[in-house]
Amino acid sequence: MKSTRLFLFLILLCFGIPQFGLYAQTKKTRAQLEKEKTDIQKRLAEFDQILKRTAETKRSSIGQLNAVNKQLQTRITFINTLSREVTLLNTEIRETENAIGSLEKDLVNLKEEYSGMIYTSSKLNSGLTMTAFIFSSTTFKQFYMRLKYLKQYSDARKKQVELINQKTEELAQQRITLEEKKSEKQLVLNQEQQQKQKLDQAKRQQQGIVNDLSKQEQDLRKKIAAAKKQQENLNSMIKRIIEEEIRLAEAEARKKNSTASKSSGSSIPLTPEAAALSSSFAGNRGKLPWPVESGFVSKRFGTHPHPTLKGISEDNDGIDIQTKPNSEVRSVFDGEVTKIFTVPGYGGTIVVKHGEYYTMYSKLKVISVKSGDKVKAKQVLGQVYTNREGVAEVHFETWKGLQPMDPSSWLAGL
What would the DSSP string read from start to end of 279-292?
HHHHHTTTTBPPSS
The pLDDT score that the predictor gives to residue 18 is 40
pLDDT tens-digit profile of 130-145?
556 555 666 766 656 6
pLDDT (0 to 100) of residue 287? 94
Task: Look at residue 36 in the predicted model and tell me its pLDDT.
Answer: 84
Residue 310 pLDDT: 82
Q: How far is Cα 300 from Cα 308, in angstroms, rounded to an integer?
A: 16
Task: Measure the CA–CA gap between 290 and 329, rounded to whole angstroms.
Answer: 9
pLDDT in single tens digits along all 414 residues of the chain: 444 444 333 333 333 334 434 444 455 577 888 888 888 888 888 877 777 777 676 677 888 888 889 889 999 999 998 998 898 889 888 888 888 888 888 778 777 776 766 665 655 555 555 556 555 666 766 656 656 666 666 666 677 677 777 878 888 888 888 888 888 899 989 989 998 998 898 888 888 888 888 788 888 888 888 888 888 889 888 889 988 888 887 777 777 665 444 444 445 777 788 888 999 999 999 999 999 999 999 999 999 888 888 888 888 999 999 999 999 999 999 999 999 999 888 989 999 999 999 999 999 999 999 999 999 999 999 999 998 888 999 999 999 989 999 999 999 987
pLDDT for the residue 382: 96
The whole-angstrom separation of Cα 299 and Cα 318 is: 9
Quick one: pLDDT at residue 20? 38
The CA-atom distances, in angstroms, between 267 and each of 86, 109, 263 are 58, 84, 8
Residue 239 host element (H or E): helix 217-256
Q: Are 181 and 92 in contact (CB under 8 A)?
A: yes
Cα(412)–Cα(398) distance, integer angstroms: 14
User: What angle (nearest 5°) sits at the alpha carbon of residue 339, between those of residues 333 and 340?
Assistant: 100
Contact in structure between 345 and 331 (CB atoms under 8 Å): no
255, HSE (Cβ side, Cα atoms, 13 Å): 6
User: What is the predicted pLDDT for the residue at 367?
Assistant: 96
Q: Domains for the chain: give ranges and CATH numbers.
A: 2-214 (1.10.287), 217-409 (2.70.70.10)
Threshold 0.95, pTM exceeds: no
Residue 126's pLDDT is what?
A: 52
Our separate counts of H helices and E strands in the chain read 7, 14
CA angle 78, 81, 82 (to 5 degrees): 90
